[in-house]
Amino acid sequence: MSSSLNSLVLKAKQLARTGDHEKAISLADELVGRYPNEMEAWSLRAYLHARNHNYQEAVADVTRAIDVNALEPSLFFDRGRYDLVLGREESAVTDFSRGLELCDRHNDDYYRESLHFFRAEAFVRLGRKREVLADLVFVRDDYKMWIDKLRSKADLLADCGELPDR
């Protein structure tokens, strides 16, 4: 990513943090027009749409980012999270699984625990107890993450206890 694009991405994120979503999204729109082959431009706009609860648009933009760079685990993590919010658990599982494959490929564990945690959440929603338990082996006992509300490993295990064995 060029230093110019990087500084504009940072500027758009700052605008969003200070509550000027309209200017942030306008800048992101400009960036995807100017840098259509840079995943960071698409990822930025996806992030801004998600901050504004426009998850359909976020999925579309992160999908475009994946078209540009299908080897970045964070993109599959993001799209999986957005699909989870939209109630598309199977799609979310597919993306979280692809993110984990890419972590293995790159020998990079940065997203691994989060991917397992979110995939376990999707499996809880799908009623797939065995898969929930398999994913939670890779999650610290004190792990917490905001999904639709603050969720912990203990929450997922408790929910899993309500699921039939299969």
pLDDT in tens, 2-58: 789 999 999 999 999 999 999 999 999 999 999 999 999 999 999 999 999 999 999
Q: What is the pLDDT at residue 1?
A: 63
- Pick the closest to residue 142 from 156, 132, 155, 152 (CA basis): 152
Question: Are residues 92 and 46 located together in one domain of the fold?
Answer: no
Question: Are residues 91 and 26 located together in one domain of the fold?
Answer: no
- Per-residue model confidence as pLDDT tens digits over 135-161: 999 999 999 999 989 999 999 999 988
Question: Are residues 83 and 131 located together in one domain of the fold?
Answer: yes
Q: 94: number of CA atoms within 13 Å, CB side?
A: 6
Q: At what angle do helices 153-161 and 129-136 cross, to 10 degrees?
A: 150
Q: Which of 70, 97, 127 is the last residue of a domain?
A: 70
Specify the pTM: 0.93
